[in-house]
């Protein structure tokens, strides 16, 4: 997790200015001048796989936007297990709760190597007050969190395990051409769907036998969109 936006060489800073994510994330609508004055304390972090962005219950000084990779938000359960409540992909925001002065509500962990922007809460609060565009973008991000949470309830926590798994694969963009697709581990799949690791493994094996997913040399390549969709709506 090495920062580079505020590095002397501005390694990531230049990336920030050119960042295509910026166009549709929080800073859409700001002029280059505004960005240059405001971007100062923003760091561009590289988050290696399996490392945590922040931990549940920690004080929340920063907000994060995902630039690349895949980040999971999980909560620890009273019985020792854990449940993943959201998956963040490029363009998504983590740690919004910092804006209402709370601690982090989840533990954020990179499922795959990720690049994120780490923004101090004061910066966002200030932009929220001064820039209507940023303000509107913030509301949209918040609504997006709600929508994703709803999707986890209705699609990933409802119905038989097989249907849920099909919906998960479709959610991950498994059948969409052009989307970099990362297959989570079986344990994460279990935590995503509220089932055990073994059941997740069995269902994936069955999908492979039925030709719903294909893999070559250990990596998954192709998914049968129609077949999965049929299962998903069952």
By CB under 8 A, residue 124 contacts a copy of itself = no
- Residue 143 CB, shortest distance to a copy of itself, in Å, is 5
Which of 102, 122, 198, 226 is close enough to bind a copy of itself by CB under 8 A? 102
Determine if 130 is a binding residue for a copy of itself (CB under 8 A). no
- Print the binding letters for residues 172-191 with DNA: x by CB under 7 A, - otherwise: -------------xxx----
Q: Which contacts of 192-201 are long-range, i.e. CB under 8 A and separated by 24 or more positions?
A: 192/84, 192/87, 192/152, 192/156, 192/168, 193/156, 193/157, 193/161, 193/164, 193/165, 193/168, 194/83, 194/156, 194/157, 194/164, 195/161, 195/164, 199/161, 200/161, 200/165
- Cα separation of 60 and 50, whole Å? 20
Residue 105 binds which one of a copy of itself, DNA, none, with CB within 5 to 8 A depending on kind? a copy of itself
Applying CB under 7 A, which of residues 148, 157, 199, 229 lies at the interface with DNA? 199
Q: Regarding beta strands 52-54 and 213-216, do their DSSP bridges make them parallel or antiparallel, or are they unpaired?
A: unpaired
Tokens 């994330």 locate to 25
Q: Considering the rule CB under 7 A, would residue 162 count as an interface residue with DNA? A: yes
Residues forming the site for a copy of itself (CB under 8 A): 75, 77-79, 81, 83, 85, 96-97, 99-100, 102, 105-106, 129, 132, 136, 138-140, 142-143, 145-147, 149-150, 152-154, 157-159, 194, 232-234
């Amino acid at each position: 997790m090495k920062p580079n936006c505020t590095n002397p060489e501005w390694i990531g800073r230049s990336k920030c200015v050119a960042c295509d994510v910026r166009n549709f994330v929080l800073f859409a609508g700001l002029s280059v001048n505004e960005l240059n004055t405001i971007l100062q304390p923003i760091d561009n972090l590289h988050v290696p796989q399996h490392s945590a962005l922040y931990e549940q219950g920690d004080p929340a000084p920063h907000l994060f936007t995902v630039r690349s990779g895949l980040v999971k938000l999980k909560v620890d359960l009273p019985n020792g297990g854990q449940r993943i409540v959201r998956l963040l992909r490029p363009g998504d925001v983590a740690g919004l709760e910092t804006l209402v002065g709370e601690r982090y509500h989840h533990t954020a962990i990179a499922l795959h190597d990720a690049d994120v922007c780490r923004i101090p809460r004061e910066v966002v609060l200030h932009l929220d007050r001064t820039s209507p565009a940023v303000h509107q973008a913030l509301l949209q991000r918040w609504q997006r969190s709600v929508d994703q949470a709803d999707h986890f309830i209705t699609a990933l926590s409802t119905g038989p395990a097989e249907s849920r798994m099909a919906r998960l694969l479709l959610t991950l963009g498994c059948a969409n051409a052009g989307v970099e697709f990362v297959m989570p581990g079986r344990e994460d799949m279990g935590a995503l769907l509220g089932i055990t690791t073994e059941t997740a493994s069995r269902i994936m094996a069955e999908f492979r036998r039925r030709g719903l997913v294909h893999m070559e040399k250990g990596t998954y390549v192709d998914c049968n969109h129609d077949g999965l969709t049929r299962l998903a709506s069952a």
